[in-house]
Homo-oligomer: A and B are copies of this chain.
């Protein structure tokens, strides 16, 4: 009977993004945006539809933006990360150190 399979427990999804709120800033190809949204949601993170004080992580594939400085005035612990960080966490199923994936102003 096919239905007996449904009695088996589903392996729990790790929730290492819990207490984190992500804002996807700038342009993304639609499939990449969708993938990022899936990863954030799957691992317990929240997605913000616009920039706000709740945001803990700004994810962007673009250059450092002057508005990021203003965002830091509001929330000094805000993180600016590359999309690859979100994917790296999802692949390794844990919170990977974000430092190598940080977004910084051009030298």
Contacts and interface: CB of A to CB of B under 8 A. Distances in A.
A29 to B, nearest CB: 18
Interface in A49-107: 64, 68-69, 72, 76-80, 97, 99-105
Nearest to A79: B99
Contacts of A104: 99-104
A58 to B, nearest CB: 10
Interface of A: 64, 68-69, 72, 76-80, 97, 99-105
Given A64-B100, A68-B99, 8 more contacts: A68-B100, A69-B100, A72-B97, A76-B97, A78-B99, A79-B99, A80-B99, A103-B104
